[in-house]
């Protein structure tokens, strides 16, 4: 993967109740192992670059475990998800991998999209400019529980743009 994708890699092992913050050195270790295992997928929905003039600009990868983006108020079809399995000794973790892209609507508004296997996003949400001053943190995550099986994952880009993604538990 290109360096920008690696630097923007977001590793989230979370449930809808709480996002668990991970130390930067642990994220870097996981990112290196992820790149070793996945390489640069030839079927990625878009390239990771910073060309804002394109229809979709790749921003990051989002990895989630035990929680999925809600599609029409339900968990997406498992056949549409991109899965990765990581092993560390006797431990194994299956995660869903999403390509995070930013695009403009026909009206010029920014939106954030999450793609899995298909080039068409599973979810598109508004990317809203906030009053906060820009900062050097490329991407930050926050979240909260909304209901018994749902929550909201807030993606903040450079401190001044927010996107709220409704998440849900996987189908049983």
What pTM value is reported for the model? Answer: 0.76
Q: How far apart are CA 87 and CA 33, in angstroms?
A: 10
pLDDT by position in tens, the chain (length 172): 333 333 333 333 333 345 566 677 777 777 777 777 666 666 666 655 544 455 778 888 888 888 999 999 999 999 999 998 887 788 888 889 999 999 999 999 999 999 999 888 999 999 999 998 888 888 888 989 988 889 999 999 988 999 999 999 988 7
Q: How far apart are CA 60 and CA 147, in angstroms?
A: 28
Sequence spans of domains, the chain: 3-168
| Sequence-ordered list of residues with C-beta below 8 angstroms from that of 80, at least 6 positions apart, any chain | 116, 117, 118, 122
Q: How far apart are CA 9 and CA 31, in angstroms?
A: 7
Query: In this structure, are residues 116 and 97 in contact, taking their beta carbons and an 8 Å threshold?
Result: yes
According to DSSP, the β-strands at 10-11 and 139-145 are unpaired
State whether residue 47 is helix, strand or coil: coil
Q: How far apart are CA 110 and CA 42, in angstroms?
A: 26
């Amino acid at each position: 993967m290109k360096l920008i994708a690696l630097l923007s890699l977001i590793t989230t092992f979370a449930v809808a109740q709480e996002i668990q913050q991970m130390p930067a050195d642990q994220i870097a270790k996981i990112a290196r192992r992820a790149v070793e295992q996945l390489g640069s997928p030839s079927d990625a929905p878009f390239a990771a670059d910073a060309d804002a003039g394109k229809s979709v600009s790749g921003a990051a990868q989002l990895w989630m475990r035990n929680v999925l983006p809600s599609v029409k108020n339900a968990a997406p079809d498992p056949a549409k998800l991109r899965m990765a399995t990581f092993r560390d000794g006797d431990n194994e973790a299956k995660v869903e991998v999403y390509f995070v892209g930013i695009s403009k609507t026909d009206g010029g508004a920014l939106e954030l999209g999450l793609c899995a296997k298909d080039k068409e996003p599973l979810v598109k949400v508004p990317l809203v400019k906030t009053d906060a001053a820009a900062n050097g943190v490329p991407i930050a995550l926050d979240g909260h529980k909304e209901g018994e099986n749902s929550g909201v994952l807030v993606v903040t880009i450079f401190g001044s743009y927010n996107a709220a993604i409704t998440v849900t538990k996987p189908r049983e």
